[in-house]
Amino acid sequence: MIQTKSQVQVIDNSGGQEAQCIRTLKTKNATIGHTIVVAVQTALTAHKVQKGDVRKAIVVQTKKNVQRPDGGYIKGSQNGIILLNEKGGPIGTRVTGSFSYDIRRRSPSAWEINNRPH
């Protein structure tokens, strides 16, 4: 569960490292597959994303357990996100962490980044 002011890790290669959730869209608490608005807190130099940028992002990992339809649970080691551009596609080209297959149903654009040839 991610809510306003939650600290999240950026797990793609867009340049951001840490971000803070500013707003969750459509729900009070965001889980896997939901879209949130974040402010980038720390970033690498000379990349697409800089410190202070406000971007939309998709939640792909949460520390809180999320129940699957078959009764199993998904739990990540961190709160991880993938940053999105204005068109809704991912900014980065690779994912540095892992995320669940369940994201495919909720957000096809986030799943595309996982299936790109490297």
CA 51, 40, 22 angle in degrees (round to 5)? Answer: 140
Does the pLDDT of residue 3 top 90, yes or no? Answer: yes
Domains of the chain, by residue range, sit at 7-115
pLDDT digits (tens, 9 = 90+) for 47-68: 999 999 999 999 989 999 988 8
- pLDDT at position 111 is 66
| % of residues, the chain, pLDDT over 70 | 89
Does the pLDDT of residue 31 top 70, yes or no? Answer: yes
Contact indicator for 78, 63 with CB cutoff of 8 Å: yes
- pLDDT at position 115 is 61
7-115: CATH topology: Ribosomal Protein L14 (2.40.150)
